[in-house]
Amino acid sequence: MMAALSIVIDLVSIRLDNIFVKYTFYPLPLLLCGIIFGYKYGFLAGFVEGFISQVIVYGLSLTTPIWMLAPICWGVGSGLLRLIFKKNDHIDIVIIVFLTSFVCLGVNTVASILDGILLHYDYSYIFASIITRLITSLIMGVIYSFIIVGITPIIKKEVK
């Protein structure tokens, strides 16, 4: 269910491909899945979301597995970090969200570079967009944190 929700959200994302920025809320269900249900379910949700979204938006290609890594990272990263930050306080959730966000930023940067190498794109353009992507990641991290902190207790209560 979290993967399906994430796919729908991803399909309505605002993509600014000229500066490699995507304003989206698709990580929210993946973060929740990892935090609440653990990294295994986070992996499954991220894998399904990454594969289906890639195929729908860009089609199946040589680099599809590379681009699937970020959604997988949202689910797995938040689940693994939840094992480290075990308190149920807001600070732990904010740390989890920001650490996962920065790891996914790095994964997407590497994916962009590999995509450029494999498909012979001009990937120097990617390096120029790193500052913009970092700022976007910070802004979205704040938004994700507020939402996750507010909704996690509600979902945990409903799951029990």
The pLDDT of 94-107, averaged and rounded, is 94
| Average per-residue pLDDT for the chain | 88
Please tell me the predicted confidence (pLDDT) of residue 99.
96
Radius of gyration of the chain (CA): 15
Domain 2-14+23-159, CATH: 1.10.1760.20
User: Has this prediction a pTM greater than 0.85?
Assistant: yes
Domain boundaries, the chain: 2-14+23-159
Q: Is the pLDDT confidence value at 118 over 90?
A: no
Specify whether the CB–CB gap between 34 and 77 falls below 8 A.
yes
Most confident of 50-54, 110-114, 117-121: 50-54
